[in-house]
Structure 1
Amino acid sequence: MSCRTEEDCVNSVPITSTEVNDVAKSELQRLRSAHATVAKLVVDDLVYLPIFERLEAELVAAEAKEKGDPIAYARAAIAAQNAKL
């Protein structure tokens, strides 16, 4: 099989469920780290509060998704979307 573009080749590579889980866990770790960092910034300056609230909502959504609860994930995803507005 030949690819017309590099993106075609990348998109045709199968991804295992283990790789998907690893990506999800690394994203969760990244969100937790960012959340903790921004929490410290909020203590010093409230200008960071909207960022903290957005990260909080995204973290809750990611944790609900990892637990496999579709209803909790849907609710958290809506809250995360509203936090971005």
Structure 2
Amino acid sequence: MGVHVSTAYRMPLAFRPGMSARANTKAERELARLRKAHATVAQLVAIDLVYLPIFDRLEAEIAAAEAELIKDPIAKARAIAASQRKRT
């Protein structure tokens, strides 16, 4: 008799109670996308400082996405406040 692998084992490792596995995966994909863009823009900043505002904006968005992912309202508020300070 062979062993059948259940679909329950396909659940993401970072699953958090109260959040669907699909939504959590979407949030993690968005965070990965932001981090990749941040790394790309970091290379551009090294070439030309004109990209620095984009780099700063991505840092703020990463902080907010991380806070959202861990469900920390204080961290999210701080990330939003930091983002607003950088814009002014």
Q: With the length of structure 1 as denominator, give the TM-score of the two structures.
A: 0.73
The counterpart of 1:66, out of the listed 61, 64, 69, is 69
Q: Give, as a single letter, the amino acid of the residue that structure 2 aligns with 1:41.
A: L
In structure 1, the partner of 2:43 is 40
Moved runs in structure 1, 4+ residues, more than 6 A? none
In structure 1, the partner of 2:21 is 18
Q: Distance in 1 between matches of 2:23 and 2:86?
A: 26
Q: Where do 5+ consecutive residues of structure 1 fail to align?
A: 1-15
Higher-helix-fraction structure = 1
Residue 81 of structure 1 and its aligned partner are, at CA, apart by 4.2
Q: How many residues align?
A: 70
Q: Where do 5+ consecutive residues of structure 2 fail to align?
A: 1-18
Q: Aligned residues: percent identity?
A: 60
In structure 2, the partner of 1:55 is 58
Q: With the length of structure 2 as denominator, give the TM-score of the two structures.
A: 0.70
